[in-house]
Chains A and B, each alone.
Chain A
Amino acid sequence: MDKNKIWIGEKDLTMAKDFVENSQKEFQSNPAIENAKLAEGAMQLGGDRRDFLKMLGFGLGAATMAAGCDIPVKRAIPYVVKPDSIIPGVATYYASTFIEGGIAEPILVKTREGRPIHVEGNSMITGHSGVSPRAQASVLSLYNTNRFRTPQLNGAEGFTNASWDKLDARMADALKGARNIRVITNSTASPFAKSAMNAFKNKYPNASIVSYDSVSAAGLLSANEMCFGSKIVPAYHFDKADVIVSFDADFLGAWLGGGYQADYAKGRKVADVNNPKMSRHIQVECHMSLTGSNSDNRILVKPSEQGAAIAALASEIVGGVSGPKLNAKATKAIKKVAAQLKAAGSKALVVSGSNNTYEQVLINAINNALGAYGNTISLSGAKTSFTGDERDIETLLNELPSNNIDVVIFNQCNPLYDSPNAAKLKAALSKVKTKVALSFSPNETSAICDVIAPVNHFLESWGDADLGGGAKSIVQPTISKLFDTRQSEESLMRWSGIAIDGDDYALGAMKKAWKNNIFPTQSNFVSFQGFWDSVLHDGGFKGTSKSYSFSAPSLAGISGKITKPSNAELEIKFFESAHMGNGSGSENPWLMEMPDPVTRTSWGNYLAVPVNFDGVRTMLGYNDLKDGDLVDLKVKDVTYRIPVVQQFGQMKGTVALALGYGRSNGGPVGTNVGADVNSVLTLEKGHIQYYNTNVSVSKKVGTEENFSCVQYHHTFGIKGQDTETGETINADEAALVSVTYGVVKQGYQGSLTDRSVVYNTSVGELKNSIARLKEKRAEAQHLNENTMYPFDEYTETKYSQGHHWGMHVDLNACTGCGACTIACMSENNVPVVGKREVSRHHEMTWLRIDRYFYGEVENPNTVYQPMMCQHCDNAPCENVCPVNATNHSSEGLNQMTYNRCVGTRYCANNCPYKVRRFNWLDYTTADIFPANQVGLGLDTEVPFYGDNLTRMVLNPDVTVRSRGVIEKCSFCVQKIQAGKLTAKVEGRRLQDTDVTSACASACPSGAITFGDMNNKKGDLSKKLHSDLNYIALEEVNVKSSVTYTMKVNNRDASLDA
């Protein structure tokens, strides 16, 4: 097989017939007809001539009537007293913090007329810009229609609404005589939340706090307690490391809440092509994680072999450790890795996602032996936000039957879903007199509670967060409370009988806490008010914290304490995806519809099975399974019927499945989507292990009806073999390429047979690759010069002055996290379409991240390519529109005018990048016709976006598109116009900071740069000069405005041997 071959998936390699056929079609199905079949009588297309005349007559009559009618009176309602901070029509930004368990991410919240509509990153405290998908999507959770709106009490008539006074009275009653009280919580990054729980504990000495995390870092914390004397998470500096080894730690994904992406990307960008330097990243894992897909080399070990692999490395580096036996290939590779790590010395960094204390102790020992502490790992920037330990839940389980626990308070946690012992816990809780849920929305745990004290969304709350290293950030409300809710800290403090002066209890309590605890630790401000104002403005402050030091624990006998490899034929790995978490994203439609970056599946979890390629044409899947086949997965004694997805890079003898799905009480969005695997997680030495060896996968038992994997949707530039001639051609051009001129096989427009979508190379071959790239580009440009149309003249007159918008995407920095895709949906009112529609290729995303593989078929490397409208200056879509609905602006924007669009879809057919989306149905319910809603996959009474609460998230500057029009990336034209206006009003030239697209500002790793190509001093212009740059499909002469960089890896081929 061609070494440089790039493929997108199994169907591409095998040239699957359906795939080749489909890739020639822009549109896969016609939902109008499908819907008509689906709903009897919903759409009667029949009728005769007389009906036609009747309709015509009625239509004319109705039009005449309408023309004569008055327009309904519209109201303009001003404020009574206008708040100073609000200028209607101008966005106001507030610094706050996205906080979820131990995760804390400083953010800026964009509000319009008092409602939050978009989340951006805040770099004031951490220095990192960008924002994660989950933080992005949190703004939609605020408008969750399923959230609790009032306090509720469970009685004889089930749940009934109550007032807070009544609820507090009930709580006082329950707490007064309670013999024992437990507060169950997840880790929290908020010192304020911790202090509220401590206050509660102080008031009720018979109370204790049970802290657990569903995706646990307890092993790591225990190990760190042994090594550093405290349960801390040190600060990892991936930018300072030359060699990064990760044992199953998905640090670009959800590991320890993420946030390492920015630093990691710094080490992956190629700054100087003549002297290329790049960190080497080796991932030791069994399933293709997001981090693994970004690595240079992957060493495949089964989940149960992780301990053995760590021990093998420790024995090489630390010495004196003998671990269990590891598979031969990995053993060999680990030896080489050890040599590289030693060579890198203090510029090496080893991390592990293991939840075994002693494996983590070994990791610490390795890092210490390498000299990583103080260099790539900082012990002065440590975080204390993670406290969860699942052994506390075990203790609780033992106590419940006998210890007279009368009150249990669930503080924003859901153990009856996400704890491995949920069933046992549920049974044991039946003895507890009063079960209290401090909960945002109904969930598995709140369903069995007696008292429901609904909590605010964090965007309605006061709070704070520990960012590590003493840095603190603040949570401030960006909107008044939408419903009769109360933040959990306030509830706990009120129940503890703490009185706070002032109208706003939570604000008062927060200020008090900061005045007493944090204000004295700084010296920049003399008055508290000054300090407080600066904190509210910046979103926090950079403090200092105490440093820890490493003290070597004894490694004697440690080999007996690490996981023994299993002999089982098949092992299953359970992983947490960055967008879904363990269920926290499952009520959010944006996150549900966001494809998993690696498997590219949405709306559910799909069993990843390994592939086996014969190297020519045939793919031997595990158990002959193909994408979308249903199987019976048996883990322990539970059988799941789930669809599979063939995953390149999945180790043979292993399968993988995501956590966080299969909620039984997850609201209209999350309920019964995918499979819940929490109950089959096992505990080892008290710690949850995210794999299982007691597993079997059946043969195909059916086909998933709505297989919503977007990997084969909107593909382009795919190479394959022509079925007739056997020659290599583009799959999507098969129909067009049929003429042979002389001896040279010619494609449509000359050279389409060798399309340039992705270029890749390695650090070692960079020089040659750049030469080759230059050659290719010269060839393409030569072809383009032969155009009949004098484009250069046009460029000269049109784009040489004013603005010319463009974008640069650094594929080496892009980790595929998907933050940009959510930012795009949020900024541009892109609709959610639901599972069925996704399975029909109807996802509406303006920006998608294409995933390509290259290298070894069974253990490949990955390229993530954000693909959006390229704003071609010679756009093929524009020429074919019969109504001129899409045309070009003098600033180089490919404009889409929805009101002109009549839906011929010619433009989408003619788009070489396949980035145009058609509103097949009324996804935004701009006009609700019942017939439109059939089979949308969101079986709620009011479809998503149909209710006024959800619509509050819409960006008022962007039109909500209705059925029957094409839409696509606009380069965030509303932001461009706003930025231009700012510069005009201030009477100065436009600067880089004035205009940025939503995707560029959301990107945590700085992969996307947006700007004015005419601004020679701007960031974009600087980046446009790299030798690594290329334009996708440059040879088709569409003059795209988006430039990509060649993907460079630092793969060490010797590790594969």
Chain B
Amino acid sequence: MIIHKTFKLSKLVLILLILPTLIFAEPTADVGKTVFKNYCASCHAKDMKSALTGPALYGAEARWADFAREDLYEWIRNSQALIAKGHPRATELWNEYKPTVMTAFPALTDEEIESVLLYVEGVGSGAIGGKPQVTAGAGGVVAEEKSNNYIYYILFGLLGLLAIVLARVINNLSKISAQRDGTVYEGKTLKQTLTSKGFVTFALFGLIVLGGYTTVNKAVDLGRQQGYAPEQPIKFSHETHAGINKIDCQYCHDGARRSKHAVIPAANTCMNCHTAIKVGSENGTAELTKIYASVGYDPNTNKYVEDYANKSEEEIEAMFKKWISDQYLVGNGIEKLDKEGEREVREQWDNIVASLTNDQKKTVGGPIEWTRIHNLPDHVYFNHAQHVSVGKIECQQCHGKVENMEVLEQHAPLSMGWCINCHRQTEVKFDGNEYYESYEKYHEELANGTRDGVTVQDIGGLECQKCHY
């Protein structure tokens, strides 16, 4: 969770830093970041310093400094064209990397390219990313959502103070009145006050009220886990997939439109893309290897392993360790594994084994056991198809802005009150669905204007056996 928060914070700072410049549509690192993630990140390393499919980008400007800036633009837009022209730098790179062809991006504007370069240099030099650098005064105050609780605390304190003052006043008045009467006033000691009947009764009453309140609230919350964001066996980022790469939710969660379950995709759905995209930025490569280990895909040879279930553990380990170490070598541009590399390979493999196995599952092969986040009690029937295909509700309405979640968390409380509330407010999509024609009276009322809309409640959406049977 800590990581998550700082990540968000750093982004916020970043945005605040660059906010003023953004308005003028000049090349900015932020635009560069987006462009980089959209177009470059699948082949070029995120740290800008290691080579993946494509070369490390840091220092590219320096390396192209001898040539016209336009050459660099052209190179990025369509490298093959430049090679064909026989540009010396282009030919040099081609000889190094052929036959891997860089994808052409003819649509990139000069500003976008400049932005990417800005971003690349920023990241490479450590000016962007890494540890959050709070440069005060650049953009203003970092706004945090504040709770109103302090008002109550102040109020509570004031009242307490008032009570003490009043008690004091009463005490003094009693003293004065006693003096006038000529009697000796014996003020209560603190102990006497605290053990007096009134105080004890009050304290008990307060305790019971507080205790009851807490108990009831806790009991109601029992089993709810809003905000639950457990660590998953694979550091799958919805932000990368749904946010940056804009993959449709239902591409992977293909049950949502036709089944009660949205369905956690089978590993072979991942393989639709990841047979091609084998390395990723940050954790990507290490995490992708887990998918290969699950389905039995040899990334070294780009082939599915035959009879994977019966392969020995050593064979599997050797296969993936080779892949990991090769990636390390490529990433660091070295020929032989160094000490650091050996440790890295060992650690990555151990991590893979730890993520994919448990008490019941002894081998890395086989299904990935994700940690379930959204849990409805067994006596609740919920159907995704009803909400997605018929109700045409956006996924985000219940699941939050998943496309912004690096680590997925439960957005909604998933409580019955929450469901009911939505059923009260949501209007049924009567138009265009012949099914609802059987609600003749509502149609009449809608037509003659006596009714504005039909909510889910109006067609029985609050009845017990719509969800419990």
Contact = CB atoms under 8 A, between A and B. Distances in A.
Interface of A: 60, 63-64, 66-68, 71, 73-82, 87-90, 800-803, 887, 889-891, 893, 895-900, 957-960, 970, 973-974, 977, 980-981, 983-990, 1014-1015
B469 A973 contact: yes
B264 A78 contact: yes
Given A959-B469, A990-B438, A890 B265 contact: no
A765 B222 CA distance: 66
B255 A987 contact: no
B433 interface: yes
Nearest to B267: A80
A421 B460 CA distance: 64
A981 B390 contact: yes
Given A71-B223, A78-B263, A90-B258, A957 B439 contact: no
A974 B260 CA distance: 12
A71 B225 contact: yes
B331 interface: no
B218 A67 contact: yes
Contacts of A88: 255, 259, 261, 263
A75 B469 CA distance: 24
Interface stretch (B12-20, B282-290, B375-383): B375-383
A58 B255 CA distance: 45
Contact of B369 (A75, A800, A899, A985): A75
A977 B469 contact: yes
Interface pairs A-B: 6 shortest CB-CB: A89-B259, A67-B218, A79-B266, A82-B266, A89-B261, A89-B260
B464 A897 contact: yes
Given A74-B372, A77-B369, A984 B295 contact: no
B316 interface: no
A470 B158 CA distance: 95
Contacts of A973: 465, 469
Contact of B460 (A81, A891, A989): A891
Nearest to A985: B389
A563 B431 CA distance: 75
A76 B370 contact: yes
Given A89-B260, A989-B435, A78 B265 contact: yes
B366 interface: yes
Nearest to A75: B369
B295 A81 contact: yes
Contacts of B191: none
Contacts of B261: 88-89
B368 interface: yes
Contacts of B468: 897-899, 959
B74 to A, nearest CB: 44
B335 interface: no
Interface centre among B264, B390, B437, B464 (most CB of A within 10 A): B464
Contacts of A974: 381, 469
Contacts of B389: 984-985
A80 B371 contact: no
B463 A890 contact: yes
Nearest to A889: B463
B374 to A, nearest CB: 9
A977 B464 CA distance: 12
B269 interface: yes
A394 B5 CA distance: 85
Given A75-B369, A80-B367, 12 more contacts: A60-B215, A67-B215, A77-B368, A79-B267, A89-B255, A802-B459, A802-B460, A889-B463, A890-B463, A984-B390, A989-B434, A1014-B438
A66 B222 contact: yes
Contacts of A960: 378
A327 B291 CA distance: 83
A959 B263 CA distance: 21
Contacts of A67: 215, 218-219, 221-222
B435 A987 contact: yes
B258 A81 contact: no
Contacts of B222: 66-67
B370 to A, nearest CB: 5
B434 A987 contact: yes
Contacts of B300: none
Interface in B225-273: 225, 230, 255, 258-261, 263-269
Given A802-B459, A984-B433, A74 B266 contact: no
Contacts of B386: 981, 984
B435 A76 contact: no
Contacts of B371: 73-76
B215 to A, nearest CB: 7
Contacts of B379: 898-899, 959
Given A973-B465, A985-B258, A802 B381 contact: no
Nearest to B374: A76
A75 B369 CA distance: 6
A75 B370 contact: yes
Contact of B372 (A75, A82, A90, A959): A75
Interface string B373-400: 0010011010101100110000000000
24 contacts: A63-B219, A64-B215, A71-B375, A75-B371, A75-B372, A76-B369, A77-B368, A78-B264, A78-B266, A80-B267, A80-B268, A80-B295, A80-B367, A82-B268, A89-B263, A889-B466, A957-B381, A970-B465, A977-B466, A981-B385, A984-B390, A985-B258, A985-B389, A989-B435
B440 A987 contact: no
Nearest to B218: A67
B368 A78 contact: yes
Contact of B469 (A74, A970, A988): A970
Contact of A81 (B260, B266, B375): B266
B443 to A, nearest CB: 9
B429 to A, nearest CB: 10
Contact of B465 (A71, A76, A895): A895
A990 B435 CA distance: 6
Given A78-B370, A82-B268, A887 B464 contact: yes
B416 to A, nearest CB: 10
B432 interface: yes
A896 B469 CA distance: 8
Nearest to B465: A895
Contacts of A957: 381, 469
A604 B369 CA distance: 47
B85 interface: no
B442 interface: yes
B438 A988 contact: no
B294 interface: yes
Nearest to B304: A81
B82 to A, nearest CB: 43
A82 B385 CA distance: 19
A889 B369 contact: no
B427 to A, nearest CB: 15
A959 B434 contact: no
A60 B219 CA distance: 12
A180 to B, nearest CB: 43
Contacts of B463: 887, 889-890, 895
A73 B219 contact: no
Contacts of B188: none
A78 B367 contact: yes
A87 B255 contact: yes
B441 interface: yes
A398 B222 CA distance: 73
A81 B291 CA distance: 12
A984 B435 contact: yes
Interface centre among A801, A891, A987, A1014 (most CB of B within 10 A): A801
Contact of A802 (B225, B439, B465): B439
Interface string B434-469: 110111111000000000000000011001111011
A77 B232 CA distance: 12
B440 A76 contact: no
B259 A87 contact: yes
Contacts of A887: 463-464
Given A67-B222, A76-B370, A80-B367, A893 B465 contact: yes
